Structure 1
Amino acid sequence: MVACPCGSGASFADCCRPFVRGELEPPTAEALMRSRYTAYVRRDAGYLHRTWHPTTVPSTLDVEATEWRGLHVVGTTRGGADDDEGTVTFVAHHSTGVVSTGTMRETSRFVREGGRWLYVDGDVD
């Protein structure tokens, strides 16, 4: 079993892979956030662009500079299967070189439009 990079404890095949491959849509804001983290780990800029709200998506995205090493979901507000908006607060551990490591804490905002969750933006602490 190959563990999913998102830290859910499930296998990649049973967790984020169906979302990243476009086979299924994430049912919650947290599931989208976890699949987007997995896309960063796997350097999948295409998935990140597809799941970014069109009003805030950047024209380019550098997924090569950072190595993501772990994710911890701190909490969620709304963002469930019956909601149209929600937030997810998380801490992501990363490395940008041999000796440069750190963490990033973000509260991400999501909206659901046309049955799909999309990342809008986030506040980084």
Structure 2
Amino acid sequence: MDNSICACGSFLAYKYCCEPYHLKTKVAPTAEALMRSRYTAFVVQNADYLYETTFPTKRGENSRKSYLKSAKNTKWVKLEILFADFDVVEFKAYYLNSHLKTAVLHEKSNFKLENGLWYYVDGEFYL
């Protein structure tokens, strides 16, 4: 992605936006920043980042292998943040389904700040 616009919707170049988080040269300062960087990690198929930013007690449910499979099997189109608070982010993530029609994943995600690092804990899905 290098000079391309970051997938998270910031309109910044990837290398100045989510890439430093993915390369571990910076840490996401807020739950929203982590949410955006995780969405972009799905786009660029960075399963290690997705696994490492999942709260440790929740990692058993989400292996690196399952994250990679999900990322490879989904064509993400756009991220829309609907609401962001200290440790909660509600978003819509648009993707192409198996019939190449746009579908939406609508989730309210819960995050936890521990030892200066944000983690994804879990989410509530909306239909």
TM-score (norm 1): 0.89
* 1:49 aligned partner, one-letter code: Y
Whichever residue aligns with residue 89 of structure 1, its letter is E
Instruction: Give the RMSD, CA atoms, in angstroms.
Output: 1.2
Aligned: 1:101 with 2:102 = yes
The residue type equivalent to 1:73 in the other structure is: I
SS of residue paired to 2:90: strand
Unaligned runs of 5+ in 1: 79-85
What's the counterpart of residue 42 of structure 1? 44
| Distance across 1 between alignment mates of 2:79 and 2:105 | 10
SS of corresponding position for 2:45 = coil
How far off its partner does 1:98 sit? 4.8
* Pairing partner for 1:24 from 23, 26, 49: 26
Which one has the bigger helix percentage? 2
Alignment-derived partner of residue 87 in structure 1: 88
Residue 94 of structure 2 aligns to a residue in which SS? strand
Give the count of matched residue pairs. Answer: 118
Percent identity between the two aligned chains: 38
Cα distance, 1:116 vs structure 2: 0.3
Within 1, Cα distance between the matches of 2:47 and 2:97? Answer: 18
Runs of 4+ in 1 over 2 A off after TM superposition: 96-101
